């Protein structure tokens, strides 16, 4: 009877473990393998033909517009991550240490509410706000300032990225800061540490893992976003996500678009693994 119970328990455990690997296999690994394979195919007369040639890789990697789009995407995503991290920290700090548990729950709920609305709808709202005759320029006009061009610029793209990522970064940072041991903070204060020094030497090291994970999520979402650079950034010059669309429209060059997509995935995986390794290695050292 105990043997049967043991087997049943193991079978039950395996049954609940299988859905995630199967999901990853069907919806990530299989499409990824197909995309890698497709990147070596050729397009003739607007039709893809199976082959194994490196012409698509050579074509894309030898073009300046590809690398311009790559560095532009990397720069905008990195800048957005830095801005979102710096803006989110004061809010997360206040939610973690300055308000009650009830207030914190309500504010986190309010931060989640924007995700109930389509991101595209929110971007359209920003078009109205950032337009030359929009809300911001109208307010500045009353002060005799402007108008400023904010749409179809890198600034507009970053505003879109922040709309997508900032609430999530605040939530993740709040969850991380809330786990910091309050007794260590009180000990630092009792030893005469200032508030700024306590944040730098106690709170940040203890919450570093969560802060890095929040930054990684921000970078991933911004790096792959298509809507913000297209509707707020004007799509020119293109980011990598827009370059994929442009490439598929140009003679149905899906294999070359696959090269761009694989480059994005490799970049994201590299950044994600490096950041996670840094986060958890730092925690082990503590």
Q: Averaged over 150-164, what is the pLDDT?
A: 94
**Residue 15 clears pLDDT 80, i.e. is over it:** no
Confidence of residue 3 (pLDDT cuts 50, 70, 90): very low
**Structural domain harbouring 244:** 63-285
- CATH assignment of the domain containing 78: 1.10.3720.10
pTM for this model (two decimals): 0.86
Higher pLDDT, 279 or 85: 85
Q: Averaged over 115-133, what is the pLDDT?
A: 90
Quick check: is 211 in a domain? Answer: yes
pLDDT for position 252: 79
Tens digits of per-residue pLDDT, 33-58?
888 999 999 888 778 888 888 999 99
**Residue 147 clears pLDDT 90, i.e. is over it:** no
pLDDT for position 286: 47
Quick check: is 249 in a domain? Answer: yes
Q: Averaged over 234-244, what is the pLDDT?
A: 91
Q: Averaged over 55-63, what is the pLDDT?
A: 92
Confidence of residue 137 (pLDDT cuts 50, 70, 90): confident
Quick check: is 145 in a domain? Answer: yes
Tens digits of per-residue pLDDT, 180-238?
888 888 888 888 888 888 888 888 888 888 899 999 999 999 999 999 999 999 888 99
Q: Which DSSP string corresponds to the chain?
A: -HHHHHHHHHHHHHHHHSHHHHHHIIIIIHHHHHHHHHTT-EEETTEEE----SHHHHHHHT-HHHHHHHHHHHHHHHHHHHHHHHHHHHHHHHHHHTS-HHHHHHHHHHHHGGGGS-HHHHHHHHHHHHSTTSHHHHHHHTTT------TTSHHHHHHHHHHHHHHHHHHHHHHHHHTS-HHHHHHHHHTT--HHHHIIIIIHHHHHHHHHHHHHHHHHHHHH--HHHHHTSTT-S--HHHHHHHHHHTTT-HHHHHHHHHHHHHHHHHHHHHHHHHHHHHHHH-
Quick check: is 70 in a domain? Answer: yes
pLDDT for position 89: 94
Quick check: is 53 in a domain? Answer: no
The total number of structural domains in the chain stands at 1
pLDDT for position 159: 95
Quick check: is 191 in a domain? Answer: yes
Q: Averaged over 133-139, what is the pLDDT?
A: 87
Quick check: is 274 in a domain? Answer: yes
User: Which of 33-37, 42-46, 240-244, 266-270 is least confident?
Assistant: 42-46
Quick check: is 57 in a domain? Answer: no
Tens digits of per-residue pLDDT, 75-117?
999 999 999 999 999 999 999 988 888 999 999 999 999 888 8
Q: Averaged over 60-84, what is the pLDDT?
A: 95
Higher pLDDT, 274 or 188: 274
């Amino acid at each position: 009877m105990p043997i049967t119970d043991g087997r049943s328990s193991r079978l039950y455990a395996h049954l609940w473990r299988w859905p995630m690997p199967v999901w990853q296999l069907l919806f990530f690994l299989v499409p990824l393998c197909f995309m890698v394979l497709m990147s070596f195919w050729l397009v003739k007369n607007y039709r893809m033909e199976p082959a194994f040639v490196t012409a698509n890789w050579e074509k894309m990697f030898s073009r300046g517009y590809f690398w311009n789009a790559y560095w532009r995407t990397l720069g905008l995503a990195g800048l957005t991550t830095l801005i979102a991290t710096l803006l989110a920290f004061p809010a997360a700090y206040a939610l973690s240490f300055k308000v009650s548990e009830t207030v914190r729950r309500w504010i986190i709920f309010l931060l989640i509410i924007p995700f109930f609305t389509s991101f595209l709808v929110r971007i359209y709202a920003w078009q109205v706000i950032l337009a030359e005759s929009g809300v911001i320029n109208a307010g500045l006009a009353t002060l005799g300032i402007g108008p400023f061009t904010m749409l179809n610029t890198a600034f507009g793209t970053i505003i879109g990225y922040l709309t997508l990522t900032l609430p999530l970064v605040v939530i993740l940072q709040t969850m991380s800061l809330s786990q910091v041991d309050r007794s260590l903070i009180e000990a630092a204060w009792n030893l005469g540490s200032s508030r700024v020094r306590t944040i730098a030497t106690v709170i940040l090291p203890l919450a570093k893992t969560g802060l890095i994970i929040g930054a990684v999520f921000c970078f991933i979402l911004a790096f792959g976003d298509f809507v913000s650079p297209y509707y707020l950034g004007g799509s020119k010059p293109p980011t990598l996500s827009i370059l994929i669309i442009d490439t598929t429209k140009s003679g149905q060059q899906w294999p070359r678009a696959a090269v761009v997509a694989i480059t994005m995935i490799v970049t994201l995986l590299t950044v994600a693994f490096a950041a996670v390794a840094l986060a958890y290695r730092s925690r082990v050292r503590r």
